[in-house]
Structure 1
Amino acid sequence: MTLERELVEMAWDPITRIVGSLGIYAKVDFANREVAECYSTSSVFRGYSIFMKGKDPRDAHFITSRICGICGDNHATCSVYAQNMAYGVRPPHIGEWMINLGEAAEYMFDHNIFQENLVGVDYCEKMVRETNPGVLAQAERTEAPHAADHGYRTIADIMRSLNPLEGGFYREALAMSRTTREMFCLMEGRHVHPSTLYPGGVGTAATVQVFTDYLTRLMRYVEFMKRVVPMHDDLFDFVYDAMPGYEQVGRRRVMLGCWGSFQDPEHCDFDYRTMNDWGRRMFVTPGIVVDGKLVTNDLVDINLGIRILLGSSYYDDWADQEPFVTEDPLGNPVDIRHPWNQHTIPHPQKRDFAGKYSWVMSPRWFDGRDLLALDTGGGPLARLWVTALSGLVDIGYVRSTGHSVEINLPRTATRPEKTFEWRIPQRNGELLSNAVERNRARTYFQAYAAACALHFVEQALGEVRQGHTQTWSPFTVPDEAVSCGFTEAVRGVLSHHMVIRDGKIANYHPYPPTPWNASVRDFNGTPGPYEDAVQNTPIFEENPPESFKGIDIMRTVRSFDPCLPCGVHMYLGRGRQLRVVHSPHAFTGTP
């Protein structure tokens, strides 16, 4: 017997993101208070992998940084890593410390402005009043457990502080974003497209003054974080308490990928043949976690397992094309669907949710048996989870314990030393990869990045005091090369794969986190992470269908940090028409 369900077709399109317009198309079952189906779409084609062909490899980081106006420096850094491998060049230690300091500033800048000025709005007093007035009434009566740390007496006070443009904390976070942007510019000249970042190092002059200027700003941020972490813990814990079952919102199976971040110049030589060793020496450990278990933290394994599937995307297959690479530098076979061998063959067509419906392909990771639709946890969740389980980081300011990450922040102007511990999230004995924990991890990773930056500053100042101020190493471009770069963009995994022939780029494929998170159904029908997280998510919003805002759906999508989702619009099928649906089928509403 088939159970009839009344579903309302809804769309939020566009949600502005990294490579075009993100749209979320869903069917909502209001009777059972849950989302029945979800499709993630992208309506813009960029084509970087096409016009990179034939370019001088030395221009790669300048060109690819323009992929994004938010995290362009992450692309530039990843491209530089790939170029270092191709050219066989190793930057001076101080040059690498400066790149780490730039990346740390970027994490602090972007996570701060996204968390407080975009995600925070979803939990602010004005939004909660419109979507869950009962929850706001409870927030008014609930005292904040860590009020002495952050200064807000009740949970409702925290929510009011997050009101856009009016809230005190909202404005304070905006001011802090300026400080962190200045930190980045001190290291790499310009934000968001670095002007002093090159293969072989940086062009910034290494002086005591430049690192002191960075450090004074960093200490302001460290003091700021001593309020931010407990404030968000209070807010997110309240969400669980006020809406029992909210841990199911945005929840999906734990399948997290992290490509690692912050190179250790003592060990990193950018040689592919030793990549598994220096990869494990990163200060954010690379790795893949499935169902709470660490599958691997070997970058060679991670690299060889990447598969680019087409599925429901607007491209023609390249399986009959000649591969660029048949073996990696270690002699391991390379699959035809690996980025080194990818051909981008666009095939524009009408959107069809029963067929092809997006410009985003379907990156997957092959574990030897299954093609896994990994997600990044918005970046921080995967980074902290992998680093915690690996237990490889111990630099005083941060330590991974095998089950948690400890973050030690020193005394600042008005606040004593403080230690925070991010623990692998679970409730009632179940591991959680959901909307709330993606957001919570973002707060903790801000503190983690700040703590790492303290170590990097100390190391850089030590180099200067020893007279080691050369920040760049010379190199030559080879006629033939195969290389890759791995790092973490703000919102998750980032890889650049390059093939050089006759001294020019023959193939180049950058894969930022959004194609992983926003990927579409693959040839097996497996949905991408946005789709999977939204499907079956419960609805806690108190509004009826005619005034529904979709706040739980938006919290789910925004928890992945889809590159500044600031322009959200809603469309309700044709005249908010209810449809009786017996089985999944293509959307009938006008796009």
Structure 2
Amino acid sequence: MSERIVVDPVTRIEGHLRIEAEVKDGKIVDAWSAGTMVRGLEIILRGRDPRDAWAFCERVCGVCTTVHALASVRSVEDALDIKVPANAELIRNIMFCTQYMHDHVVHFYHLHALDWVDVVSALKADPVATSALAQKLSKYPKSSPNYFSELQKRLTKFVESGQLGIFANGYWGHPAFKLPPEANLMAVAHYLEALEWQKEIVKIHTIFGGKNPHPNYLVGGVPCAINLDEANAINAERLAFVGQTLQRAKEFIEQVYIPDVLAVAPFYLDWAGIGGGLENYLVYGDLPTNGFADVKSFKFPRGAILGRNLNEVHPVDPKDDQDGIKEFIDHSWYEYSKQGGLHPWDGETSLKYSGPKPPYEHLDVDKKYSWLKTPRWKGHAMEVGPLSRMLVGYAAGNDDIKGAVTDALGALKAPPSVLFSTLGRTAARAIESQLAAKWGLEFFNTLLANLKAGDTRTFTREKWEPSTWPKMAKGVGCTEAPRGALAHWIVIGDQKIANYQLVVPSTWNASPRDGRGQRSAYEASLIGTPVHDPHQPLEIIRTIHSFDPCLACAVHLYEDKKEIARHELLVK
């Protein structure tokens, strides 16, 4: 006999996600993923100056702000054939790497670690043994017995008061937790350390972009002037701070994050066979080293893998392949003016859906059950994200990625096949953080070399004035958000935005089935997952969190009649 489990909302994520799973004989046999907010950002953008789109797009989310702005300005630059100066590309790359480090560390410690770490178990730990474990793993200075003893006392006060504070409502004591008390105490300590660390690294965004979490961007370059001797510009002092912050971030990742992942993983190797899901992986690529037009220069290679075949990387062309990427709405609460999937340049977003409203006791999964559209690449359901980037980079023979993946697998004494799993997805994110730390410093040193050689340009006015634009133009801005392949598609007509569509990572991963019944990544990854207690579905949360869900960029408005009515009134 089967049982339907409902997890709504899925917590420790950005946005609103509902998961329903059918469990039979202790395992999930079917699953459905539903975005429970309605999308409308594309409607807001119509008729606006395309050079302003980034400021709206960036605010679809409080997490992935930088990459949405980047994709937006690139879409306009692509449409108008604007080439940005080398320094602007380098600064964008530095901000990109900064966000990767920040986002991945925050995800592991504050959004995902509590799926593996039993906080209450840390009360039983021996601080001396915890110190010995920490010092064995790395040379991070905060690892003395007294340090862990004081932390344990603070945690004990939380528990004795009946209030775990930030650690409340966990499934503590669940048999799926396997770490010894000392490893749990060390992880809790680093959870708190990461809270302090993450406040510092984002200062790089405030230097180059003026603020965080929504730094400024600019079509044609970056909005910061560089003058090494000018107090009101990006000067030598501010650049030195950026370099020091990048170096400290690299040290934290190498001395805390990576050792923690390697310490936790051996206790959960059974999860190397759980949560694999789809066998197809898509990457747009990013971090250009010779201008964005030179795709072969990307640090993250572009391509697709089908059927987990690492011997072949299929070419991906988001711009010229009109039949490559299409969005479907067979199970989405939207209406199209015509049948079938639509390429994003022809995409439609309408809030005037006349069908049945969401039934929230159980989703009517035979009909429409999500506010997310369903994107497909050449008809295939694709997973996007860190695992996809590491697999495509590995298969493409990228030296940095192949070396980092090989080193991680060697440390775990595991074959490459473990990557196709919940555990592999989590490990891929850590490996990628290490690469971002390395590459961020490389881009910074190249920027310094350019400045020393006298090149301080960060912006071009070429084709900036609307009077120089063609009557109609189309563009696509591609990037790799921390959560996966991201593209903004723009159509410019008479100097205004005629159409704008975002196809975001969570649309790929969290979307409902397509018309052929193909599951997307979240749904596919849950099939076969063991569930010990339907009332404490920790196992579901583990796999879904391994994708680092972020629904805010996939859906943009609450599905509430008053909210929709007010929005429709504003856009008429």
What band does the TM-score fall into relative to the shorter chain?
Answer: 0.7 to 0.9
1:151-162 residue pairs with structure 2 within 5 A?
156-162=181-187
2:345 is equivalent to residue 340 of structure 1: yes
Tell me which residue corresponds to 1:585. Answer: none
- 1:296 alignment counterpart: 314
Cα deviation code 1:257-301 (max 9, x no counterpart): 11112122x3334xxxxxxxx122111112111213343244358
Q: Which amino acid in the other structure matches residue 33 of structure 2?
A: S
Q: Deviations over 1:14-56 (max 9, x none)?
A: 1258884100111222xx3211221111121131122222111
1:48-63 correspondence runs (5 A): 48-63=41-56
1:425 shift after superposition: 10
Give the one of 244, 263, 267 matched to 2:288: 263
- Look up the SS of the partner of 1:82 in the other structure: helix
Alignment of 1:245-284 (within 5 A): 245-264=270-289, 266-269=290-293, 278-284=294-300
The letter for the 1-side match of 2:365 is F
| Distance in 2 between residues matched to 1:181 and 1:439, nearest whole Å | 23
TM-score, normalising length from structure 2?
0.79
Match of 1:274 in 2: none
8 Å Cα contact 1:422-1:444 kept in structure 2: no
Secondary structure of the 2:382 match is coil
Q: Distance in 1 between matches of 2:68 and 2:393?
A: 22
Between the two proteins, the alignment pairs up a number of residues equal to: 489
Please list the CA deviations of residues 315-336 of structure 1 after superposition, one character each: whole Å capped at 9, or x if unmatched. Answer: 123336xxxxxxxxxxxxxx96
Residue of structure 2 equivalent to 1:373: 381
| TM-aligned CA deviation for residue 467 of structure 1 | 1.4
Pairing partner for 1:178 from 199, 202, 208: 199
- Indicate the residue corresponding to 1:444 in structure 2: 431
User: What is aligned with 1:406?
Assistant: 404
Cα distance change of structure 1 residues 441 and 155 upon mapping to structure 2, 3 Å threshold: farther
Q: Which residue, 510, 531, 535 being the options, matches 2:502? A: 510
- The aligned counterpart of 1:187 is 208
> CA separation of 1:249/1:28 partners in 2, compared to 1, >3 Å: closer, same or farther?
same
1:123-162 correspondence to structure 2 within 5 Å:
123-126=116-119, 147-149=136-138, 156-162=181-187
Secondary structure of 2:9 counterpart = strand
1:315 corresponding residue in structure 2: 334
Q: How large is the RMSD of aligned CA atoms in angstroms?
A: 3.0
Which structure has more helix as a fraction of its residues? Answer: 2
1:461-518 alpha-carbon deviations (Å, 9 max, x no partner): 0111111112110123423111101101111110011111111111110111011111
Partner of 2:303: 287
Q: In 2, distance between residues paired with 1:425 and 1:511? A: 35
- Aligned pairs for 1:541-556 within 5 A: 541=532, 544-545=533-534, 548-556=535-543
- Aligned counterpart, 1:25: 20
1:201 matched to 2:201: no
* Paired residue type of 1:27: E
User: 2:328·2:375 contact (CA, 8 Å) conserved in 1?
Assistant: yes
Residue identity in the other structure for 1:188: G
Residue identity matched to 1:253: L
CA contact (8 A) 1:124 1:161 kept: no
Aligned equivalents of 2:4 and 2:332: distance in 1? 22
Paired letter, 2:522: Y
Aligned with 1:501 (options 485, 493, 505): 493
The amino acid of 2:210's aligned partner reads G
Q: Is the Cα contact below 8 Å between 1:424 and 1:431 reproduced in 2?
A: no
1:360 partnered with 2:398: no
Deviations 1:206-247 (A, max 9, x none): 23333211110111111112222122112112211xxxx432
Whether the aligned pair in 2 keeps the contact of 1:80 and 1:485 (CA below 8 Å) is yes
Question: Which residue pairs with 2:517 in the alignment?
Answer: 525
Q: Match for residue 450 of structure 2?
A: 463
Matched, 1:306 2:325: yes
Which residue is equivalent to 1:93? 86
**Percent of aligned positions that are identical:** 28
Residue type at the aligned position of 2:542: R
Structure 2 CA distance for partners of 1:353 and 1:302, relative to 1, 3 Å:
farther
Higher strand share goes to which structure? Answer: 1
Q: Secondary structure at the match of 1:117?
A: helix
How far off is 1:118 after superposition? Answer: 1.4
In 2: Cα distance, 1:388 partner to 1:362 partner: 27
Q: Cα distance 1:523–1:279, how it changes in 2: closer, same or farther (>3 A)?
A: same
CA distance in 2, matches of 1:127, 1:23: 27
* 2:239 paired residue number: 211
Letter in 2 for 1:181: V
Q: Name the counterpart of 1:570.
A: none
| TM-score using structure 1 length | 0.77
Distance 1:362-1:564 versus aligned 2 partners, 3 A rule: closer
1:331 alignment counterpart:
none
- Of 485-494 and 48-57, more deviation after overlay is shown by 48-57
Please report how far the alpha carbon of residue 433 of structure 1 lies from its aligned counterpart in structure 2 after TM superposition. 2.0
Structure 2 CA distance for partners of 1:127 and 1:103, relative to 1, 3 Å: farther
Q: Distance in 2 between matches of 1:17 and 1:117?
A: 8
The letter for the 2-side match of 1:60 is: A
Tell me if the contact between 1:118 and 1:564 (Cα under 8 Å) persists in the aligned partners: no
Q: How far, CA to CA, are the matches of 2:2 and 2:120 in structure 1?
A: 25
* Structure 2 alignment gaps of length 5 or more: 146-178, 227-234, 359-363, 553-572
Instruction: Write the distance in 2 (CA, Å) between the matches of 1:17 and 1:50.
Output: 29
Note the 1:27-46 alignment, pairs <5 A: 27-29=22-24, 32-46=25-39
In 2, Cα distance between the equivalents of 1:469 and 1:341?
40
CA contact (8 A) 2:387 2:419 kept: no
8 Å contact kept, 2:87–2:447 = yes
Q: Is the 8 A contact 1:23 1:40 kept in 2?
A: yes
Say if 1:122 and 1:555, in contact at 8 Å, map to a contact too.
yes
Partner Cα separation in structure 1 for residue 122 and residue 3 of structure 2? 24
